[in-house]
Chain A
Amino acid sequence: MPMILAAFASGLLFGLGLIVSQMVDPAKVLAFLDIFGNWDPSLAFVMGGAVVVSSLGYGVAKRRGVPVLAPCLEIPSRRDIDPRLVAGAALFGIGWGLVGFCPGPALTALTFGPWQVPVFVAAMIAGMALFRIAPAKVQVSLRRTAPDLDG
């Protein structure tokens, strides 16, 4: 139960951060990505602030060695840059650039956004499901070790 509450509180804080920073608005995100247009650098400030605090948290977590509510830290150990990583990131970036939604803001916008938000989220979940079922062959041939999540 404490683990569930901790995850809930983190999710709540994450969503609030996306709202305060206005990253829930795809137009705001696209304005950042549009570096050749009327550029809005706000997203860089969001990322900068988030990376600094997450980095501090990582430092403390590593020094402690174990988390407060779980037996061990589950941090990805892989360091190799493989074709799957690059291809996946490239595809994600195209989708991100088309609408301006990445997974976090899309989910946070679900409860108050227009009809386009649930459509995008449904397609995103379908894409995740497709990854689980469709390209089994590709996955087996490229995957030598167990798939670990970076995020």
Chain B
Amino acid sequence: MARRMKTQEKKEFQKLVDSNNPKPNLLLNCFWAFSVGGLICIVGQFLHNTIESVFKLSHLESTNVTTLIMIFIGAFLTGIGVYDKIGKVAGAGSIVPITGFANSVVSPAMEFKREGFIFGVAAKMFSIAGPVLVYGITTSVIVGIVYYFIR
């Protein structure tokens, strides 16, 4: 009985909290995510096209080179303290592209440098990106096996 009353009280309290919470400006947030995310993709596409035509690489080879350059840009902007400011405005727009992935690896590595290169940098480097890697790689293996059999 007492427990049920507690649950009821919690439900009512959650209602009060929800009604009191500020509402984020979804339209504005979407606009910025779309613009900044789109801009990052335009940069990537521009690099890709340039590499493909200037260095006469195949489509797949220039994809690899573009990925490398975009990761470097993401890591560099994190290192000079700019990427977090971009992320504050763009949200998912700068988290989803590969530059955001670089940011999620470099930022904990920088943060925990004082704990040393083994227990700090190396151990904490994947604290944010780790789950993405684990499930990303696992999923790609499963999809690969399925593809092998139904091809």
B is bound to A: no
Q: Which residues of B contact A (CB under 8 A)?
A: none
- Which residue numbers of A lie inside 8 Å of B, CB to CB? none
